[in-house]
Amino acid sequence: MSAAKSIAGQSWRGGVQDMHRALPEEVPVAIVFNGTTQAVMMATPDSLDAFGIGFALTEGTVTTADEIESLEVIEHDQGFEVRMWIADAAAKRMEDRRRSMIGPVGCGLCGIDSLEQAMRKLTTVNINKTLTYSEVNAATEALRQHQPLHDQTRAVHAAGFWCDGIVAVTEDVGRHNALDKLIGTLVQRGIDPATGAIVLTSRVSVDMVQKTVIAGAPILIAVSAPTVQAVEIADAANLTIAALARGDGFDVFTHPERIIPDEV
């Protein structure tokens, strides 16, 4: 299945005319560990192997990718299954963080059955990585040049990784899915998240901060604003948030010491 499909319709702009527009696919993707479905997410059907790896890491099911003993993506008539077999220790942790319902694309915490699990404590990001003012401005501008599915459909989010330029980008109808895919892609390509910044086309919510901290990235750059809770969690975890970054400036909400002036 492709990530997008051309759909017929009518365009009402200065008159009415028939048109075709590419729209993103949105299908159920079951995340399965050791034969048990942990979650069913509505997602764009590409990079699903990376999605599985990133989801397993950011949900705390595995602490390292080495705990994933095997992974396969299986297409069914109704959707896809990302089937993973994980180590015994990881399987036990999975029971402590259960998900059992469909996660809508707008929410990365849907289905968690405990408030404590939703607002889980995070480790502290102890990384001295810095970016210049110009690099932060350039990051979101560069991300816009690496969004083919968005250019085609105007209906998906992107997550990118900046390290002296954009080196990886993933897209999905769900912003948290895009970030999980990115984290999985970095694992697959052997790129250390500590060496750069995660860049988002979306707002910064609690789950996006949690996933970034768990991945080990020290800086999160976004085109939209953070929530109050996201700022509080990022501040406690020593994560730098630079938001409302649209090429002409940005706001830094936490740990501004990682953003430095350009050399004169």
- Indicate the residue type of 103: G
CA nearest neighbour of 94 among 178, 28, 36:
36
Pairwise CA distance, residues 67 & 205, whole Å: 28
- Dihedral over Cα of 155, 39, 162, 210: its sign: positive
Dihedrals φ, ψ of 131, to 5°? -130, 150
Enclosing H/E stretch for 149? helix 148-153
Q: Point out which residues pair with 240 in neighbouring strands.
A: 219
CB atoms within 10 A of CB 85: 15
Catalytic residue among 73, 107, 110, 119: 107
CB atoms within 10 A of CB 219: 28
Residue 163 a catalytic site member: no
- The residues annotated as belonging to the active site are 107
